[in-house]
């Protein structure tokens, strides 16, 4: 049984690790992976059809804990203890929930101090006691509701017992119904560089490079005001040294062992002993491909990290803005005028909303991924649509899984 400390508006913590509000989904998963044998029965819950409208949840079923993440930012916004009997809880070092300590109304009042009167939900037959960033839920029969006006301690069941907590929420802010995931806290930065936003630089219908708004922690304080923000630009043709100088060392360097698309490039069919290689920046959601001969950047891959994709949880979501020049659409009273207009594609843009504005080249290519052991991809195929110097990888639910940008002189 886990023994954890409650920090209202902040975290649920053990002596060795913390589930901290604002942490990224991948960081919580990393904790779970390092606690195999201690944390068991883990499930990832998400909506396959509407992944941006339903919270992303990491359910620790055997430990009675649910970690609820904002579906867009993928940062932790609510920590729920849904089964109080499955976990031991402390506050300020003193237990208030364990096999020996029952979390009754009197115990909660003793451990956390005086609070406002509880709020009774007659529909759910639940009494909610709220503290800043912390709420407790007590199942209470409607016939006891009049007793609430006399104080919480006046609620007594016929047996003489009082209501016991059925679940608990930790969140940021004062209203659990309007809580949002806070920014990534300094304790979760770990001296790495993270992406705030990314703009694709385009001129004349061609991609030139990326402008990345980044942040990190200066290491001097654990407060949010210690965050250091800066902007870097990476262009096609930049050397690997220039990219590393701008973005820092990559999370991983990956050498391409095989390129099945090379057959479509007449200039690259000759055998070579050198391999192109990627700089993988997992916390930026970006890959940069370098040419084996010139050692210069020739392709960018932007990842959206949607659940249900083969690479889910490998990257943070890349919050990009990609401007595209497309023909202006007619309205009900005018004919189509051949005057271009600019639209912006983002990480949350749905392909169905985009495809009627752009005309991809040819039919989509079906992308089937499999592991090195030749096991099948359990999430199914994706579809790659080529437009100008861009390849959109689209999932079956219509969301864009990745965007690949390459120099226009290079074939896809």
Reduced to 3 states, what is the DSSP secondary structure of residue 347?
coil
Together in a domain, 165 and 299: no
Q: What is the pLDDT of residue 99?
A: 94
Split into its structural domains, the chain has a count of 2
The C-alpha atoms of residue 325 and residue 313 are separated, in whole angstroms, by 32
- Is residue 231 located within the same domain as residue 322? yes
Q: What is the model's pLDDT at position 264? A: 46
Is 198 found in the same domain as 97?
no
Tokens 């993440």 locate to 69
Last residue of a domain, one of 141, 171, 201: 171
23: in domain: yes
Residue of 309, 73, 307 whose CA lies nearest to 197 = 73
- Domain span holding position 68: 2-171
Query: Whole-model pTM?
Result: 0.88
Q: Of the residues 171, 197, 223, which one is the last residue of a structural domain?
A: 171
Cα–Cα distance list, 25 to 42, 178, 305, 344, 355 (Å): 13, 20, 11, 27, 30
Tens place of pLDDT for every residue, the chain, 412 residues? 999 999 999 999 999 999 999 999 999 999 999 998 899 899 999 999 999 999 999 999 999 999 999 999 999 999 999 999 999 999 999 999 999 999 998 899 899 986 667 788 888 888 899 999 999 999 987 766 555 554 555 555 555 567 899 999 999 988 888 899 999 999 999 889 999 999 999 998 899 999 999 999 865 655 556 789 999 999 999 999 999 999 999 999 999 875 544 544 555 555 556 799 999 999 999 999 999 999 999 999 999 999 999 999 999 999 999 999 887 766 545 555 556 788 999 999 999 999 988 989 889 999 987 655 445 667 789 999 999 999 999 999 999 999 999 987 643 3
Q: Three-class SS of residue 246?
A: helix
pLDDT of residue 92: 94
Instruction: Determine the pLDDT at residue 332.
Output: 46
Statement to judge: residues 161 and 272 lie in one domain: no
pLDDT on residue 176 = 87
């Amino acid at each position: 049984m886990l023994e954890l400390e409650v920090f209202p508006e902040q975290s649920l913590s053990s002596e060795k690790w913390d589930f901290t509000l604002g942490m990224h989904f991948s960081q919580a998963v990393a904790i779970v992976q390092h606690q195999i044998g201690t944390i068991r029965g883990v499930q990832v819950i998400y909506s396959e059809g509407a992944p941006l409208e339903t919270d992303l949840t990491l359910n620790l079923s055997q430990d009675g804990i649910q970690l609820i993440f904002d579906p867009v930012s993928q940062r932790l916004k609510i920590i729920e203890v849904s089964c109080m009997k499955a976990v031991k809880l402390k506050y300020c070092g003193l237990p208030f929930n364990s096999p020996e300590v029952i979390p009754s109304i009197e115990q909660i009042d003793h451990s956390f101090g005086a609070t406002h009167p509880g709020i009774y939900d007659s529909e759910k037959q639940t009494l909610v006691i709220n503290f800043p960033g912390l709420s407790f839920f007590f199942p209470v029969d409607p016939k006891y509701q009049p007793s609430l006006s006399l104080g919480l301690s006046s609620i007594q069941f016929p047996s003489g017992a009082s209501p016991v907590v059925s679940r608990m929420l930790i969140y940021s802010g004062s209203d659990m119904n309007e809580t949002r995931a806070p920014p990534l806290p300094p304790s979760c930065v770990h001296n790495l560089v993270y992406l705030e936003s990314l703009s694709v630089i385009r001129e004349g219908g061609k991609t030139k490079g990326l402008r990345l708004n980044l942040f990190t922690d200066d290491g001097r304080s654990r407060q949010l005001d210690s965050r250091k923000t800066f902007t870097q630009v990476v262009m096609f043709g930049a050397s690997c040294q220039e990219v590393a100088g701008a973005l820092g060392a990559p999370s991983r360097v990956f050498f391409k062992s095989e390129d099945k698309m090379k057959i479509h490039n007449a200039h690259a069919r000759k055998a070579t002993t050198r391999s192109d290689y990627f700089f993988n920046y997992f916390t930026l959601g970006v890959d940069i491909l370098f040419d084996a001969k010139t050692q210069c950047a020739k392709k960018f891959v932007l990842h959206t990290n949607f659940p249900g994709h083969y690479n889910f949880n490998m990257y943070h979501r890349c919050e990009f803005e990609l401007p595209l020049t497309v023909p202006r659409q007619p309205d009900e009273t005018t004919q189509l005028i051949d005057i271009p207009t600019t639209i912006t594609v983002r990480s949350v843009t749905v392909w169905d909303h985009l495809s009627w504005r752009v005309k991809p080249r040819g039919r989509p290519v079906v992308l089937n991924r499999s592991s090195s052991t030749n096991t099948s991809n359990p999430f199914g195929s994706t579809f790659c649509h080529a437009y100008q110097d861009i390849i959109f990888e689209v999932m079956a639910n219509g969301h864009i899984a990745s965007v690949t940008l390459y120099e226009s002189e290079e074939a896809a």
